[in-house]
Every structure is written in C-alpha cells, then in structure tokens.
Amino acid sequence: MDEPYWIGLKAVAGVGNVTFRRLLERFDSPRGALSASPDELADVRGVTPAVVAAIRGGAWQRFAEEECRRLRESGARLMTFISADYPKSLFEIPDPPPFLYVRGELFSREPAIAIVGSRRGTSYGLLTTERLAEGLARHGVAVVSGMARGVDTAAHKGALAAGGRTVGVLGCGIDKVYPPENRKLFDDMAANGGLVSEFQLGTLPLAENFPRRNRIISGLSRGVLVVEAAENSGSLITAQYALEHGRDVFAVPGNITYASCKGSNRLIKQGAKLVDCVEDILEELPGYGVRTAEISTGAEPRAFALTPKEAAIYELLARSPLHIDDIISQTELTAGEVSSMLLHLELKGAVTPLPGMHYAIAA
C-alpha cells in the first residue's frame, strides 16, 4: 500500500487538494510525484518553487512514517479518492479531499440524508430529531451528521436505535473523541456505522475546522435536514453547501420566539421544504415514495475504482456535462489521454457519451 506517499504528499507545505490532484494527473501516483525531478514538478500548475523545495527536502517522509504508525494504532484506515469505496458523491463538491481517514464503513446500498442543527437543542428539537432519524433508518436511509452535541448527537442515536446506519463527519482527527461525553456513541458508530475525517491524526477540534467539514456532510448526502438553527449558525453553512451542491434542503419548523429557531424558520421562508414527518423527506428521494411498513432500498450507488487520470475527468463531469475540448483544457491531460480515459470510464459504466462530443456521469 502506498499510504506513506499519499500522506506525505498531502503534508507538503503548499500542496492543497487541488494541487494534489493535479500532481496525480501528471505523475499517476503520489510516489511518482514525490520522486519527480524539479523541472517536472515545476511544469505542473500550482507548484511553486517553495513546493518543489519542500518535496525535495524530504521532511514529508518522516511525518508520513509517524502518521502511518499512529494510523495503525488508531484502528482507522485511509480511503483514497481512487478506491472503489470512496463515495462518488464527493466528486460533485468543490475541493473533494484526496483521501479520508475512516473507521467502520460509510455506505453500502442506501442513500443518505444529513441532519444538522443546534448544539443546544430544546427538548422538542432533540425528540423531533431522534424521531425523524429513526424513521429514516427504518426506511433504509443512512443518517449523516457531525458528531457535535445537541441535534447531531440525537440524529446519530436515533438512527442507531432503529438499527440503521449513521456516519459521523468529524471536525478533528479521527483519533480524537469530541465531545468527550460521546465516547460510547463514537465506539457504537465505529462498529455499526462509520466515522470519517479529512484532518490529520491528532488534529484538535478547532473552530475553523467545522465549517470546512460541513461541505463533506453535504457531499455525502442526498439532502440536508436542518433542525433548530440560529442565524449565522454552522448548520446554515451546511444548508448553503447543500444548495451549491444541488442537494435538497429540508427544515423542521421551530418555536418563533426562540433565537435558536430563527435560522431554520428562515430557510422555510426561502424555499426549504417544511418537514413534520419522515414521509416529507422520503417522497423526495428517487425510488422511495411514501412507505411505512416496508423498507425501501433505493437505487444502488455506483462503486468502481478509478485511476488518478480517470478521477480527474470524473470529478469535472460530476459537476456538469462537458465537451471533450473543455475536459482537455481543464486537466493536466493530453487529448489522447482524455480520449482513452473517457473510453475506460464508459466501459466501467461511470460516464455516458452525449451528442456533440459531450460527456456526463452515468445516472
């Protein structure tokens, strides 16, 4: 496994997610990028002289070796964006992480709905969250949330109580339990659901991490349900990401006299779907409809491995159909490589050709 090279390349100062993926497009693997010559590296968009010097300096290697040791001790694993089980819905968001730290399992066949809301939820908000999460789980829908206090915790517990699956997206390293009182929930989710983080091991739950992790909560989900969110809260950031990512936005109406409900009530005014029962969500999911006595499995998500070059093209097409010339201009690939990768992706059932040399991801 090339885990040290994936971790090492991401640890190089100046290599963000976009530059990381461009390096893989050019050199096929993190190992290839880290062993490339200075001239080869400098030819990649976004690679500055400082990045070249950091790669050649080799400090990344010592960090990667230590991170891999800690990874083994944590019980987590690395899921790279070229692996078959990497959630393909994350390619639809800007800046998808090149790899994730994962404990447990993310999804099998079920679609997912995110539930987010106040860390200081009222008894009404918490009970409503648990009830809706249980209802989703009983209909075969996974519940995604952020493992925070309040609504997030109620959402995870509700899904587990119904025997369903739930995924927690962390704003810290996957080896950190936050909040600390959620230790049992953390362990239960690792065994019966999944935990995921894009942050290095040991990363503390700093305030600036949480808005960033919210784009992953949205990216993993078909829609986002907001329960009790104040104005300018993190939950509204997640809802905004959902709109930008083409997801549905749902909201539970709250007490009009509570400041903690002003944000979620405003979402309803702005067009979010009002939810007072789980069927309000289910009827928006393809292949579901309103069912109460029977579990619906929905459509099976796509699962296929990708090469770095294929991933570069798939990521572009996941956002919108493109002409082949646009694909060439927006990647580090040659015209011949793009044509070859498109054929490979067609054979995998990942993309479909459209009239006029346009391509889109397969439905």
Q: Are 189 and 168 in contact (CB under 8 A)?
A: yes
**Which pLDDT score is estimated for 297?**
41
**Which pLDDT score is estimated for 110?**
82
pTM, to two decimals? 0.90
Question: What is the C-alpha separation between 63 and 283, in angstroms, rounded?
Answer: 48
Neighbours of 285 (CB within 10 A): 21
C-alpha 356: how far from its chain's center? 32
The CATH number corresponding to 104-282 among 3.40.50.450, 3.40.50.1000, 3.30.160.270, 3.10.129.10 equals 3.40.50.450
The beta strand positions in 105-222, using DSSP E, are 112-117, 142-145, 166-169, 194-197
**Which pLDDT score is estimated for 112?**
95
Axis-axis angle for helices 123-138, 151-161 (nearest 10): 40
What residue spans in the chain does CATH classification 1.10.150 cover?
Answer: 1-74
**Which pLDDT score is estimated for 295?**
42
Question: What is the C-alpha separation between 350 and 263, in angstroms, rounded?
Answer: 38
| DSSP assignment of 281-322 | HHTTSTTT-S-SSS----PPPP-----HHHHHHHHHHHHS-E
For the record, the structure tokens of 292 come out as: 């109460």
What residue spans in the chain does CATH classification 3.40.50.450 cover?
Answer: 104-282
Question: For each of the chain's 363 residues, which pLDDT tens digit applies?
Answer: 689 999 999 999 999 999 999 999 999 999 999 999 999 999 999 899 999 999 999 899 999 999 999 999 999 999 999 999 999 999 999 889 999 999 998 876 789 999 999 999 999 999 999 999 999 999 999 999 999 999 999 999 999 999 999 999 999 999 999 999 999 999 999 998 999 999 999 999 999 999 999 999 999 999 999 999 998 889 999 999 999 999 999 999 999 999 999 999 999 999 999 999 999 999 999 877 544 434 444 444 567 899 999 999 999 999 999 999 999 999 889 999 999 999 999 999 999 999 999 999 987
CA-wise closest residue to 15 among 50, 39, 40, 64: 50
Name the β-bridge partners of 113. 143, 223
Q: Which CATH architecture has domain 1-74?
A: Orthogonal Bundle (1.10)
CATH annotation of 308-361: 1.10.10.10
Amino acid at 243: L
What residue spans in the chain does CATH classification 1.10.10.10 cover?
Answer: 308-361
**Which pLDDT score is estimated for 58?**
87
